[in-house]
Amino acid sequence: MMIDKILKECSSPFYLYNEERIKDKISFLNNLDLQFQRKFNFAVKANPNLAILNLIHRCGFGAEVVSAGELFKSLKAGFEPSDIIFDGPGKTEFDLKYAITQKINSINVENVEEIKFINDYSLTKGLRTNIGIRINPNIDGSTMDKITTGLSGGKFGISIDQIDFDAISNFKGINLKTLSVHIGSQITDYQKLLGSYENLIKIADEQNLKNNINIDTLDFGGGFAVLDHSNKKINFESWKDNCNKILEGKNFNIIFEPGRFIVADSCELISKVLYIKESGEKKIAIVDCSFSEYIRPALYDIKPPIKVANSSKKTGIYDIAGGICESTDYFVKDIELPEIKVGDNIIFMNVGAYGSSMSSTYNSRPRPLEVLYNNDEYRVIRSRDTLEDLCKNEIM
Ligand code: LLP
C-alpha cells in the first residue's frame, strides 16, 4: 500500500496530500450544472505550495491572492495574470505596484484610498487597471466569530454609502468592472452565501443603470464549509439551484474563490508519539508536531479529526499535546483512542487548508516535509527546513 510505504520512508512530522482527492473536489465544482459564466479562483492562502498551486492551475482554476508573495508564487506556478484576483484589506504600495504592472484580472479594493493610488500609479505606467470593490454587506455568515468577515464594524470591504461611483467612473487609470463580497469561511448555511450574492447583484444592477458604469463581473468570494470541526455540510444541490435562479437573465461573469473546500480533506499531518506522560488524572501523548506545524486547534479551539495507526482493541482517554513550551499547545483533550504506544503514528486529518500555510518555525522548529501522492507514486513537494534555513537572513 502506498500509504504504508510513505509512512515507512518519510520521517515525521510531515504533511501528506492526496492528489486524486484535490482533483475530485475540483471536478465536483467544475461539473456542477451552473447556468451562467463563471470561474473558480483558488484562494491561495489556504495552501500556497507550488506543486499544489500548479496542480490546481492545470485543472482549470484561476487564483485569488492577498499579497505580493502569493502573486509571485501563483505566477511561478503557472497561472496567467488574467486568471488572478488580488484581495485583502491591507495591501501595501509594493503589493499594489506589483499587481498593477503584472496586469492581473482585478485588484479588489477594500479601502477608498486604494482607488486613487491605483489610478495615479497606473497612469504613470500608461496603464488602465481593472479594479473591483469589495462591499461590506453587513451579513452574518453564522460561522465561527474568528473567521467571520461580512459584518459592519469589521475591517473587511467598504460600506456602500462610502463609495462615490460617479467619481470613480471618471478616473482614467482604472476600470471598475467588478464588485466582490466574502462573508467568511467554513460557512455551512448556503442561504447566508446566497444573501450576500443577491445583495451584490442588486447593487451592480442599480449602478449599471448609469451610463458611465459597466460592472460585468461579480466575485462572490469563497467560504464553502467542509466536514471538519462542524459536522454540518453545505447543501450544494440547493446552493446551485438558487444560484441559477438569482442569476437567470443576468449577464454577469461570476467568480468564486474557494480555498478550504478544495484542499482541506486532501491532507493528513503525520506525527509520532514521543512520550506518554501520566499527570494527575491525565494521560498525555506528546507528539513530534506542535502548534508551530498546525496552529488551528490552538488558535480557533477546533478539534481536528484524529486517527491512530494501530489496531489495539483496548482504548484509553488521552490528551494529545505538542512539544512547544506553552500550555495552549494541545491538539485535543480527553479523546478516546485505541491504546497508544510510544512510536505510534498519530494522524491529524483534514489539515490541507490553513495547515501548512499557517505554520511557523516558533521554538526554532524546522518547517516540516510535505509529500504529494497519487495512485502510482509519491514525491516530496517541500523539503524539511534545515537548521541553516532557520538562520537564513539573520546576521550575527
Ligand atoms: N476570498 C477571500 C476574500 C478570503 O478572505 C478568503 C479566506 C477566501 C476567499 C477563501 O475562503 P475559504 O473558501 O477557504 O473559506 N485561517 C482560517 C480561515 C481564514 C480564511 C480567510 N479568508 C482557518 O484556518 O479556518
Is-contact 363 277, C-beta < 8 A?
A: no
Is-contact 199 181, C-beta < 8 A?
A: yes
Residue with CA nearest ligand 1 atom 7 = 185
> Which pLDDT value is given to residue 230?
64
User: What's the N-to-C CA distance of the chain in angstroms?
Assistant: 48
> Which pLDDT value is given to residue 242?
98
Query: Does residue 268 have a pLDDT over 90?
Result: yes
C-alpha 59/C-alpha 389 separation (Å) is 33
Give residue 144's pLDDT band: very low, low, confident or very high (50, 70, 90). confident
Catalytic residue among 10, 59, 243, 325: 325
Question: Mean pLDDT, to the nearest integer, of 73-102?
Answer: 98
C-alpha 318/C-alpha 339 separation (Å) is 9
Is-contact 174 131, C-beta < 8 A?
A: yes
Grid cell 482533483 — which residue? 23
For the 19-264 domain, the top CATH level (class) is alpha beta
Give residue 76's pLDDT band: very low, low, confident or very high (50, 70, 90). very high
C-alpha 250/C-alpha 262 separation (Å) is 27
Catalytic residue status for 325: yes
pLDDT tens-digit readout, 200-255: 999 999 999 987 999 999 999 999 999 765 677 889 999 999 999 999 999 999 99
pLDDT tens-digit readout, 315-326: 999 999 999 999
Query: Does residue 141 have a pLDDT over 90?
Result: no
Q: Which of 151, 257, 266 to mutate to test the pocket of ligand 1 (most atoms within 8 A of CB)?
A: 257
Residue with CA nearest ligand 1 atom 5 = 182
For a pLDDT cut of 90, what percent of the chain falls above it?
Answer: 89
Is any ligand 1 atom within 6 A of the Cβ of residue 70?
no
> Which pLDDT value is given to residue 367?
97
> Which pLDDT value is given to residue 146?
85
> Which pLDDT value is given to residue 278?
97
Q: Which of 185, 187, 193 to mutate to test the pocket of ligand 1 (most atoms within 8 A of CB)?
A: 185
pLDDT tens-digit readout, 113-123: 999 999 999 99
Q: Against a cut of 0.85, is the pTM above it?
A: yes
Is any ligand 1 atom within 6 A of the Cβ of residue 157?
no
Closest CA to 267 of 232, 317, 305: 305
For the 3-12+265-380 domain, the top CATH level (class) is mainly beta
Question: Mean pLDDT, to the nearest integer, of 362-370?
Answer: 98
What is the pLDDT of the chain when averaged over all its residues?
A: 95
> Which pLDDT value is given to residue 229?
59
> Which pLDDT value is given to residue 82?
98
Sort 97 into a burial class: Cβ within 10 Å, 0-12 / 13-18 / 19+: middle
Residue with CA nearest ligand 1 atom 19 = 147
pLDDT tens-digit readout, 305-349: 999 988 889 999 999 999 999 999 999 999 999 999 999 999 999
Concatenate the DSSP letters of all residues of 161-174 into one string: GG--HHHHHH-SSE
Q: Is 178 in a helix, a strand, or coil?
A: strand
> Which pLDDT value is given to residue 363?
98
Long-range contacts at 73-77 (CB < 8 A, ≥ 24 apart): 73/44, 73/48, 74/44, 75/102, 76/50, 77/50, 77/53
Distance 199 CA to ligand 1 centre (A): 20
- Compute CA distances 32 → 54, 72, 272, 298, 361, whole Å: 22, 30, 40, 35, 40
pLDDT tens-digit readout, 24-47: 999 999 999 999 999 999 999 999
Is any ligand 1 atom within 6 A of the Cβ of residue 64?
yes
> Which pLDDT value is given to residue 54?
98
Question: Mean pLDDT, to the nearest integer, of 144-171?
Answer: 91
The domain segmentation of the chain, as residue ranges, is 3-12+265-380, 19-264
Is any ligand 1 atom within 6 A of the Cβ of residue 221?
yes
**From the alpha carbon of 144, which atom of ligand 1 is closest?**
25
Task: Please give the grid coordinates belonging to residue 209.
Answer: 443603470
CB atoms within 10 A of CB 311: 6
Is-contact 181 197, C-beta < 8 A?
A: yes
